[in-house]
Amino acid sequence: MKITKLVWLFPILFLSSRLLAQQTAFTVKVTGRGEPVFLLPGFTCTADVWQETVAAISTNHECHAFTFAGFGGVPPIGLPWLPTIKTQLIEYIKNKNLHHVTIIGHSLGGTLGMWLVTAEPALFKKLIAVDALPCTGALLMPNFKASQMVYDNPFSKQQLAMDSAHFHQMARQMASGMSLNQTKHDQLVDWMMKADRKTYVYGYVDLLKLDLREELANTTVPVVILAATYPNRQQVETTWNQQLARLKEKHIYYADQSAHFIMYDQPAWFIARIRENLQ
C-alpha cells in the first residue's frame, strides 16, 4: 500500500518541482480580471513601478506585474540572466494557457517585450514599449557590435568592486537623470541599492547583447512606443526612427517634459495612452 502511494506521489512531486523551477527567474503579482496584460519593469525596478497603472486598468484586465530575479529581494539566478527570464515568461504563458497577451514594458522590460514578440508572435496581441529601444548598445556606443559584449570587461569589474557609498552616489546621480519628478528619486535609488550586484552588472551586459533592430521586421504584433523627449525631442525622434526602421506596424507617442520614467513624470498622459491602446 505504501509503495503504491509513493508511485502515485512521485509524479506529482516531480511536476510540482518542475513548475517551481520554471519560475525562478521572477515573481509575479496578479490583479484584476479580463484579457491578460504583462507588466515588465525596467532594470532594478520591481512590480511596484506599475502600481498606478495596475490601479487604472485592472478593472477590465488581468494584470501580471513582474519582479525579475536579483531585484526587489527576489533571489538571483545564474547566467545567462535575461535569456532565462525570456524562456520562463514564455513557459509561464503556456502553463497558464493565456491567450492574446498584451505586454507593457518599461526600458529593459520593453526591450524584453520586443524580444518576446519577435520570438513568439502568436502568443501576443500588442506590445506597448515605454522608452525602450531594440538596441540599447547602439545608443551608448559608436560602432556598436552586440557580438563584442562580454561579461568579463573592465567596466563590469569596476562596478563589482565599487563600495556601497560610491555605488549609492552613482545611483543618486542616475536617478536624477531618469526622472524629472524629484519625489521619486529616493525610490529609484532604493531599488538600485537593493539589487544583487552581480545581477546589476551582468544583467546589464545581457541587455547590451541584444540587437533586435533586424528581427523586428519579422513580427506581426502591433508595437506602440511611448518615448520620453527630455532633454532633446529632435534627437529622440531621430533615434527612434533609426532604430525602428524595420518595424512594419508601429505608432510612436512622444511624451514632452518627461525623462525616462514617463509613468512618474507625466502620469496622466501616460495612463491615457495606456487606456487608449488597450481598448
pLDDT, position 142: 79
- 279 band by pLDDT with thresholds 50, 70 and 90: confident
Q: Is 93 helix (H, G, I), strand (E, B) or coil?
A: helix
pLDDT, position 143: 84
pLDDT, position 77: 98
Which residue in 10, 28, 29, 8 sits closest to 18, CA to CA?
A: 10
| Angstrom distance (rounded) from CA 211 to CA 23 | 26
Mean local confidence (pLDDT), 174-196:
98
pLDDT, position 248: 87
Query: Where exactly are the structural domains of the chain?
Result: 27-278
Burial of residue 263 (number of CB atoms within 10 Å: 0-12, 13-18, 19+): buried
CATH for 27-278, options being 3.40.50.12280, 1.20.1250.20, 3.40.50.1820, 3.40.50.620: 3.40.50.1820
Across the chain, the runs of DSSP E, i.e. the strands, are 26-31, 35-40, 61-68, 101-106, 124-130, 223-228, 250-255
Per-residue pLDDT of 1-37, as tens digits, reads: 444 444 444 443 343 444 444 569 999 999 999 999 9
Pairing of strands 61-68, 101-106: unpaired
Q: At what angle do helices 164-178 and 185-194 cross, to 10 degrees?
A: 140
Instruction: Say how many CA atoms lie within 13 Å of 17 toward its Cβ.
Output: 6
Q: What is the mean pLDDT of the chain?
A: 92
All three cell numbers of 164: 556601497
Q: Please report, as a single letter, which amino acid is at residue 195.
A: A
pLDDT, position 1: 44
Per-residue pLDDT of 70-108, as tens digits, reads: 999 999 999 999 999 999 999 999 999 999 999 999 999
Which residue in 216, 251, 258 sits closest to 233, CA to CA?
A: 258
Determine phi and psi for 73, rounding to 5 degrees: 85, 0
pLDDT, position 265: 98
Which residue in 57, 38, 45, 198 sits closest to 129, CA to CA?
A: 38
Per-residue pLDDT of 156-181, as tens digits, reads: 999 999 999 999 999 999 999 999 99
pLDDT, position 83: 98
